[in-house]
Structure 1
């Protein structure tokens, strides 16, 4: 679509809309409820996240940042340090391939100073899957996947066939809830989260992070723990800690019980938008709960995450302009609390993020092309301000060509038109905005709105135009 703006420009030029927001967003993370967009900086190290909060996220109106798991994980040079190392904890010490405890604390403080809440990806369902043991990034050693000195031993894990009905010990049948929640996900040692002692240790880890200023948690693999177990752990945390849970739809596990614990990551949202943006976006006029989505007020929505960009179930940065337009729609439509995902470029599914030979992740250098830095795209920075100003308002002035081009306003504060076709379109749109000249926050330039609220706009092919008060 369009090139990334230099950081110096984004800090000063695209924040004015966020100052005008006045009503609560649909979901309820902490902090400013009008600034609920979360930047998901997958596998960014702590120094890079700190710099991004201060220089880009805070100044451009992002309300939160999701960071990758910070606890010590297994170091797996034999697999070339795959991205999933960080999802194999060996302790709750804050020494990881992303940085140490002091760097993590400095990152949290920098984000807090920038007005950006920090949400940690919390791996609490399991430990490692390394049968023969190994060594963690902080130097912790473990003889096997069920023994972690001073933390957990064999009795703290589900066993088979006592707890797990599958004699192989792993989750195979997703229509069997006991198997899903008591067997091992991908061979990872499954913690007995129903035991008081295990809950206490997990809560101790999470409360340590909260004491450092962390505002909330993405609960990894929440589907593989009973909702009541997560609730019991949440009861051990301060009441204002924000939780959103990874509960992928399908099989025997129902989503509704998890809503009592907090919000849910809305997977169907990204799947449906992939279908529409690869087909007919005119259908999006009714996009919402009737599309089998979770309620808006309980949803954290996303176009893609680290799993779905690898399995192809959603759009990803590899889809170019189509991906950008789907994210523009997401930020404008205002369903749930939206995430914008930035990871790193990859060709192989298990590929490591850019790292030293030791596995420690290098700084996120956006100009290198190794990191996607999608949240810095001009369209994203502009639409975060647009979202903060207008997305919470009702849809008005819907228009479509019946296929590839749509337009709508949000109350009298924002207007957007999206052209998902290979040809430009020029027409006069009802914007719903008062008379005046408004900057296009996506492409630059000005849009003149007349006394009737109409504006003649040319929307380039595979592009969008967005204005707001």
Structure 2
């Protein structure tokens, strides 16, 4: 069944169109591949393929000394001074960066500066990397000296004085109130009792200097972007002390601050908004993600995606990292409720890669979650088509043409048209091609299917099947 839909009059859309057009973004909002938990040698081997698919940046998992085969062990640093973990060592990391750079792809590094590894189960001190690791260094002196980034690995990096105090509560404290900024930023991330949690670093001069040295060495190897894990749990003072003007010069920095919504939600107002204004860094666009979940959810309306930034429900374009899935959502039980239906996730990807705001990030894993949904996503046919549309429409402003509860149709100047229909029934959309500046006698070919629209008159009918997206690119 097809439902005919008459376009909304121009005056009705004027405000939304103006707001979207005004929300300009950096001229090169290139797609980031999150090669989650990939070995560095694997990324190196696939460098040319990644470039050919249209990615311009690759975010890799944390690179430092860490042990344990589980994915989450990469987020428990033992020592910044060497790269040595199951994903590879310093040499592997450098070879990967060089291989990506050779094909025009940048390397982004995932950074964990809030805490060190939870090793209370095997030792009761706060000396890192600990006697066991230092003994390993001493036993293999030549090798570890060859992969040392900075400093002297014959001695320790941090001790008890480099971690947050415990107030007057008699011992390390786990976060108990995630709405309390002080609790979240000064106490420990813990699992269930009796887990003592992840030792929380204090931003004293020594800690900051070591973290800056680590970042500078990664920059020296060619890293051009940093994702700051658990940024919600760090003070903005700490973030700004580490990411000073020298470290930030020539790099893209964005943080992970998970919220359930945008302006008006306590998490946004207490954590994300102060972070954005105090640091000037980018961040995951969780406000927009909340709008996507609302729009595609049962009873939701695509109206929510017309101009979310105008109401504080999407981050400013020059600070937004946009997505339909992050690694925390499928891999942590507490976030799995945010998983979208697979078809809705496909439609959300079309919106994220079709719009002109933010830097899209695509997550591709090795089935760490067991869902088997994101294995080799990076090279999936629909993702390839979306990246092609995104790259070809860079620099072309977005204007919404039509929308209702089921559908949104927008264009990127004359260069492309995106239609997303979340409902079961197909939709016809009549477009005034003269008013909307779509070119005549040119093919607009869908990058997701074999559909081609050939425009020859003022009024042209676009059709979007049920539960599908179309991304027509002008040839």
TM bin, normalised by shorter chain, reads 0.7 to 0.9
Query: In the alignment, what sits opposite 2:36?
Result: 42
Q: Which structure has the highest helix share of the two?
A: 2
1:343 equivalent to 2:362? Answer no
Alignment of structure 1 residues 131-142 onto 2, 5 Å: 131-133=120-122, 140=133
Instruction: Give 5+ residue unaligned stretches, structure 1.
Output: 1-22, 76-80, 350-368
Structure 2 matches for 1:200-279, cutoff 5 A? 200-235=209-244, 236-237=246-247, 239-249=249-259, 250-251=266-267, 252-253=270-271, 255-259=273-277, 260-278=279-297, 279=300
Residue from 427, 439, 449 that aligns with 1:443: 449
* Cα pair 2:53 2:379 within 8 Å, conserved: no
- CA offsets per residue over residues 372-401 of structure 1, 9 Å max, x none? 22232222222222223325433335213x
Of 291, 296, 310, which aligns to 2:317? 296
Q: Which has the larger displacement, 225-234 or 323-332?
A: 225-234
Give the C-alpha shift of residue 26 in structure 1.
4.7
Larger Rg: 2
2:445 & 2:255 partners in 1: Cα distance? Answer: 37
- Secondary structure at the aligned position of 2:304 is classed as helix
The TM-score, its normalising length taken from structure 1, stands at 0.78
Is the 8 Å Cα contact of residues 134 and 156 (structure 2) preserved in structure 1? no
Mapped pair 1:323 → 2:345: yes
Cα distance change of structure 1 residues 383 and 109 upon mapping to structure 2, 3 Å threshold? same
**1:376 aligned residue (354, 374, 379):** 379
SS in structure 1 of the partner of residue 318 of structure 2 = helix
8 Å CA contact retained: 2:71, 2:368: no
Q: Report the Cα distance in structure 2 between the residues aligned to 1:440 and 1:226, rounded to whole angstroms.
A: 46
1:161 corresponds to which of 162, 167, 188: 167
**Do the aligned residues in 1 keep the contact of 2:401 with 2:431 (CA within 8 Å)?**
no
How many residues align? The count is 406
Deviates more, 1:174-183 or 1:87-96: 174-183
- In structure 1, the residue matched to 2:355 is 333
Counterpart of 1:354 in structure 2 is none
| Inter-CA distance 301–140: structure 2 relative to 1 (3 Å threshold) | same
Question: Structure 1 residues 43-52 or 217-226, which shifts more?
Answer: 43-52
Deviation, structure 1 residue 307: 0.9
Question: What is the distance in 1 between the residues matched to 2:355 and 2:302?
Answer: 13
Q: Which residue of 1 aligns with 2:47?
A: 53
TM-score (norm 2): 0.78
Matched with 1:463 is 468
Q: Contact between 1:27 and 1:299, CA under 8 Å: does it hold in 2?
A: no
Deviation at 1:52, TM superposition (A): 3.4
Q: Does 1:284 align with 2:314?
A: no
Q: CA deviation at 1:24?
A: 13
How far 1:123 sits from its partner (Å)? 0.6
| Cα distance in 1, alignment partners of residues 284 and 135 from structure 2 | 33
Q: Does structure 1 residue 82 correspond to structure 2 residue 70? A: yes
In the other structure, the counterpart of 1:11 is none
State the alpha-carbon separation in 1 of the partners of residues 280 and 461 from structure 2. Answer: 48
Deviations 1:213-265 (A, max 9, x none): 00010011112111121111111525112210122344543533444342122
Task: List per-residue Cα deviations over 1:163-202 (Å, max 9, x = no partner).
Answer: xx69651111233322222211221011112x11110111
Q: Contact 1:69–1:121 (CA<8 Å) still a contact in 2?
A: yes
Asked if residue 68 in structure 1 is aligned to residue 72 in structure 2, the reply is no
- C-alpha deviations, 1:126-157, integer Å up to 9, x for none? 10112034799xx82699xxxx9521111111
Across the aligned residues of Structure 1 and Structure 2, the Cα RMSD in angstroms comes to 3.0
Q: Please, which runs of 5 or more residues in structure 2 have no aligned partner?
A: 1-20, 137-153, 191-196, 260-265
Query: 1:312: which partner in 2?
Result: 336
Contact 1:434 1:451 in 2 (8 A): no
CA deviation string 1:87-142 (max 9, x = no partner)? 00111211111112221111111211222221111011110112034799xx8269
Shift of 1:430: 4.6
Q: Distance in 2 between matches of 1:287 and 1:370?
A: 28
The alpha-carbon distance between structure 1 residues 166 and 88, as it changes in their structure 2 partners (threshold 3 A), is same
Distance change >3 Å, CA 427–CA 156, structure 1 → 2:
closer
**Residues 258-313 of structure 1: CA deviation (Å, up to 9, x unaligned):** 44342122212212201111132243222224143332222212211011234135
Whole-angstrom distance in 2 between the partners of 1:335 and 1:122? 25
